[in-house]
Structure 1
Amino acid sequence: MLRALEIRDLLIIDHLELDFQPGLNVLTGETGAGKSILLDSLGFVLGWRGRAELVRAGAEQGEVIAEFELPEDHPAHAILEEAGLPGGQELILRRINRKDGRKTAWINDRRCSGEVLRTLSETLVELHGQHDDRGLLDPKGHRDLLDQFGGLDGLVTETRQTWSALSKARRTLRAAEDALKAVQDEEEFLRHAVSELDALDPQPGEEGELDSRRRLMQAAEKVKEDVSRAHVALGYEGAEGAMGDALRWLEGAGGEVGDELDEPLAALGRAMSELGDAVSGVERCMDALDFNPIELEQTEERLFAIRGLARKHNVVPDELGNFAEDLRGKMAALDAGEGEIASLKQAVADADAAYSKKATALSAARKKAATRLDKAVMTELAPLKMERAVFTTQIEADTAGPDGTDAVSFTVATNPGAPSGPLAKIASGGELSRFLLALKVCLTSEDRNTTMIFDEIDRGVGGATADAVGRRLSSLAQGGQILVVTHSPQVAALGAHHWRVEKRVQDEVTLSTVTSLGTDARVDEIARMISGDKITEQARSAAEALLAG
């Protein structure tokens, strides 16, 4: 609910402070007094796109502050939380327009973007009038309005869920088909490569082992003679025999010299053990060097085959085994691909059937809701002196989507037999106003969290029709808040709160002022609306009668 609006230095307003109330708030005044400027100012602080030049002549900047009261369940709280802005029951919007055109906005004293303001404004204010391209006149929103009227939120949610499942099934099928096509395009290569790899069957680490064995065999002839000589030098006829003789001689002498030879004997024993290990190692090397020349040829052939295959597939030799497993996986996918595709196609068909079932049910529910809405609007049009007009909610087949397969639009025919068409194109100014009011009465739920603004919605009507418009506005304002800019005394008289907008010239500067009217002042203002500049007693009596109801 809009609690207060403060405006400084915008157009012909130097400074205004307005405190709005629940119920029906009416703003009246002569043409050009500045009523539309109030709406422009409110639209400015809400981030709406409007006039480019707003700053009052001679001022450095214009400023608007709007204060809203938010109940706990108001949808604005979620927007504030998502934007990381402070919330609470009090919401204060402030926006500045500098002379050079730069704009700055705050929400609860925190800087914010115009986009956040516009998103927030959709939960705070609804503007209805002849130029309302953001609300009831916009066909893009008619389907949502019909769903809201019919209480179809649950069915819409279920339809969206089945559409999501269908979209996911289609994406999965497309991915599988693309993958299968890619595999099919390289089928010949796959089969040849797998056959080649299976025949060779390279093992991890095998290339390194073959390379070491090959190097050893290539060096064998060069080192074999030296290794044999070393074996002789270390063996019984060489170092081993000499050390054995020395050990025996020292052990024999040990009994004569006491413990003087204990340390040399221990060291010689250790040396004999190490010498034994060396001889064993040399013997193993001799065995390794003793190879068949054919083995070298076979080793080189396999080593070159593994390296050649690795170069061919651009992988390191030790990864050939894993590469082969990948290719076998692709072959398995190729072999099983048709069966998988058939299964995925069935999943798409099942998801499509589930979506079609929900979309069909939603279409049927919308048609029933449309019949009820048409009847409700026609009922509202009668007291608005439009009993011969025809309102129709058209439902046509549309491209399938998350919200079903229906395109919804509100159409009217102003007289029986006349062609029907969109609200904004068929109805005249006064007729359009009454259509919008009737439609809004039918579409407004009991739990209203937005402030509704009707900009001269009574344009082009008078007498009993204007009275009917006023009574509908008054009824609609119960439990909520409505601001209406009006030139109709019948509508003004039904307001719970009344402001007069006036234009005055001070020091050759034109300024707009707004005054809250008490009972006597309301009589004068409504009398002026009836008779013009000169207020007659008859006009005053008529005004009093209107206020008395």
Structure 2
Amino acid sequence: MLRHLDIRDVLIIDRLELEFRPGLNVLTGETGAGKSILLDSLGFVLGWRGRADLVRAGADEGEVVAVFDLEADHPARAVLDEAGIPAGDELILRRTNRTDGRKTAWVNDRRASGDVLRALSDTLVELHGQQDDRGLLNPRVHRDLLDSFGDLGPDRAATRTAWRALAEADKALTEAEARLAAARDEEDFLRHAWDELEKLAPEPGEDADLDTRRRQMQAGQRIGEDVQKAAQALGPGEGAEGRMGDALRWLEAVADKAGDTLDAPIEAVTRALAELGEATQGVETALETLAFDPGELERVEERLFAIRAAARKHGVAPDDLGDFAAGIAAKLAALDKGAGDIAALTSARDAARADYDAAAARLSAARARAAQALDAAMGTELAPLKMERAVFATEIAPTAPGPEGVDAVTFTVATNPGAPSGPLNKIASGGELSRFLLALKVCLTRDATGLTMIFDEIDRGVGGATADAVGHRLMTLAGEGGQVLVVTHSPQVAARGAHHWRVEKAVSGGQTRTRVTPLDAAARIDEVARMLAGETVTDAARAAARALLGAPRAATSSGATG
């Protein structure tokens, strides 16, 4: 529970320290005295999103420190453990806000994010403000409140999981049906293209190979005759090889008669014949390479032109025709087995829908049980609040399926016997809404441990015996081992407090400051009398205040400085 609140340089507070205790803690004061600033400051250190201009004029930085006592099993310990922050019997939250808007937070002297603060705040404080009755008017909030009351988190989680699975199965089926429909639209084209490409059977790199062969054959056609003439000129018989062979025989025949004068020419001719032989062999090899069948050139050109025409037709490179054909084959295969796939996906979708329907039905049944329990608990709570004749009912009606199930939840009330029931915003008055809110919050937080409950003017719109009943319920709620802080303008509620502070403005040196003063027994009489009488406190008002405070419920507040 909240034990200490230290506020420095926030709005019109320069320095304020408050020590809170278990039980009912009451804060009173004139309208505009600064009570809301205290709640804004507490909300700031807890990470709540609120007003940004918190720094007091003339200061560089505002700071709020809140100290909470933690029991051994307090749920805040799980949040601290997940955040890697050591936990003890005391939890210290500190947060600063600079004039440039930068905010920095610490938890037990460890830097912490706003998300960690908000997660901790969910386990530490429950704030019920003047606008909380709007939640009672929102059917979506009604469903969340009912689920919270019934501890239906696991059933909701199971329903959300089943809904996601159904959505994914539905999406897979829809996409498959769209693909199949698109494939059927182009089925004729696909089958015609596949027939063409299957017959053509293009291979990777074939275009380049065919082009090379075509060029070679065309070149052979152009130069073949000249190479053949060169072969004849070099070859035996009338060619160079034959003539040089004759010359060598003639020289060798007379060499022995010429001494050594023909040796060198004979050697030179012999070498020339060897070189000539190599040249002749090379030319013959070239002739073999250039030799081609004219019909083969025609076949190569037809194949090359067919591949290139198919590539242009389908808008791909010739070497990509094979992959393109494979893609067409895959589409046709998917088309051929599409009906089977659709059937399987439909079956999976139907199974997912059955799972969702079952999860939603379990959640609906759990909500029905929780609604009965909530209605009974509300009946018990409304009687002490002077609404014993009111009938609170939780209505559950079908709604469109969604991640939270198939139920619409509405809180209805009949405020008088025989009167028709209806939504709270149409049946209940402002004061009745406040009491319904109090009763509902009591029901919803009944099992919470270590939670500080804060009520901001929960008693508005009521007075007299009804306000006294509200105060009595708050006192009882706080006396059940809890801590309740209430901001009130009701003297009946204020008189029920175990600890009482007065919030007021004071002007010093031309500057306005908020001051919070702990009240002893005598000061409490004056404050309650002021709340009864207004500006002029009469003896009759003091007597009435003593009467309100005369019961043993009244006690002296703990300290505060500011």
TM-score tier (shorter): 0.7 to 0.9
1: CA distance, partners of 2:32 / 2:481: 32
* Aligned residue number for residue 104 of structure 2: 106
* Aligned residue number for residue 189 of structure 1: 189
CA deviations 1:472-517 (Å, max 9, x no partner) are 3244344543211123445334434322223344456554310223
Is 1:20 aligned to residue 13 of structure 2? no
Contact 2:94/2:105 (CA < 8 Å) preserved in 1? yes
Once the two structures are TM-superposed, the CA of residue 330 in structure 1 deviates from its matched residue by 0.8
Change in Cα spacing, 1:326 to 1:239, as seen in structure 2 (3 Å) is farther
Once the two structures are TM-superposed, the CA of residue 460 in structure 1 deviates from its matched residue by 4.2
Contact 1:453/1:482 (CA < 8 Å) preserved in 2? yes
Judge which range, 70-79 or 323-332, deviates more.
Answer: 70-79
Contact 1:23/1:480 (CA < 8 Å) preserved in 2? yes
* Aligned residue number for residue 469 of structure 1: 470
Change in Cα spacing, 1:282 to 1:419, as seen in structure 2 (3 Å) is farther
Once the two structures are TM-superposed, the CA of residue 214 in structure 1 deviates from its matched residue by 0.9
1: CA distance, partners of 2:142 / 2:77: 21
CA deviations 1:402-433 (Å, max 9, x no partner) are 11011212222222233434434532233222
AA of the residue aligned to 2:28: T
- How do 1:312-461 residues align onto structure 2 when only pairs under 5 Å count? 312-448=313-449, 450-461=451-462
Once the two structures are TM-superposed, the CA of residue 61 in structure 1 deviates from its matched residue by 6.7
Contact 2:65/2:92 (CA < 8 Å) preserved in 1? no
- How do 1:513-532 residues align onto structure 2 when only pairs under 5 Å count? 513-518=515-520, 521-522=523-524, 525-526=527-528, 529=531
Contact 1:139/1:410 (CA < 8 Å) preserved in 2? yes
Contact 1:5/1:64 (CA < 8 Å) preserved in 2? no
SS in 2 for 1:547: coil
Once the two structures are TM-superposed, the CA of residue 23 in structure 1 deviates from its matched residue by 4.0
Once the two structures are TM-superposed, the CA of residue 162 in structure 1 deviates from its matched residue by 1.1
Is 1:512 aligned to residue 517 of structure 2? no
Is 1:543 aligned to residue 549 of structure 2? yes
Q: TM-score, normalised by structure 2?
A: 0.78
* Aligned residue number for residue 212 of structure 1: 212
SS in 2 for 1:367: helix
Alignment: residue pair count: 517
* Aligned residue number for residue 95 of structure 2: 93
Percent identity (aligned): 58
AA of the residue aligned to 2:503: V
SS in 1 for 2:387: coil
* Aligned residue number for residue 252 of structure 1: none
Judge which range, 514-523 or 406-415, deviates more.
Answer: 514-523
Judge which range, 500-509 or 117-126, deviates more.
Answer: 117-126
Contact 1:128/1:135 (CA < 8 Å) preserved in 2? no
Q: TM-score, normalised by structure 1?
A: 0.80
Contact 2:492/2:548 (CA < 8 Å) preserved in 1? no
Change in Cα spacing, 1:491 to 1:140, as seen in structure 2 (3 Å) is same
Once the two structures are TM-superposed, the CA of residue 363 in structure 1 deviates from its matched residue by 1.3
2: CA distance, partners of 1:419 / 1:432: 17
Unaligned runs of at least 5 residues, structure 2: 253-270, 556-562
1: CA distance, partners of 2:437 / 2:553: 25
Contact 1:456/1:484 (CA < 8 Å) preserved in 2? yes
AA of the residue aligned to 2:441: K
Contact 2:79/2:116 (CA < 8 Å) preserved in 1? no
Contact 2:76/2:120 (CA < 8 Å) preserved in 1? no
Change in Cα spacing, 1:118 to 1:134, as seen in structure 2 (3 Å) is farther
SS in 2 for 1:178: helix
Contact 2:26/2:485 (CA < 8 Å) preserved in 1? yes
CA deviations 1:29-57 (Å, max 9, x no partner) are 3444332343344445666676798776x
2: CA distance, partners of 1:426 / 1:161: 37
* Aligned residue number for residue 126 of structure 1: 126
* Aligned residue number for residue 143 of structure 2: 143
Contact 1:197/1:324 (CA < 8 Å) preserved in 2? yes
Unaligned runs of at least 5 residues, structure 1: 250-267
1: CA distance, partners of 2:417 / 2:284: 118
* Aligned residue number for residue 76 of structure 2: 74
Is 1:63 aligned to residue 69 of structure 2? no
Contact 1:146/1:369 (CA < 8 Å) preserved in 2? yes
SS in 2 for 1:487: coil
* Aligned residue number for residue 5 of structure 2: 5
Judge which range, 317-326 or 37-46, deviates more.
Answer: 37-46
Change in Cα spacing, 1:225 to 1:54, as seen in structure 2 (3 Å) is closer
Query: What RMSD over aligned residues (CA atoms) do the two structures have, in Å?
Result: 4.2
Change in Cα spacing, 1:510 to 1:302, as seen in structure 2 (3 Å) is closer
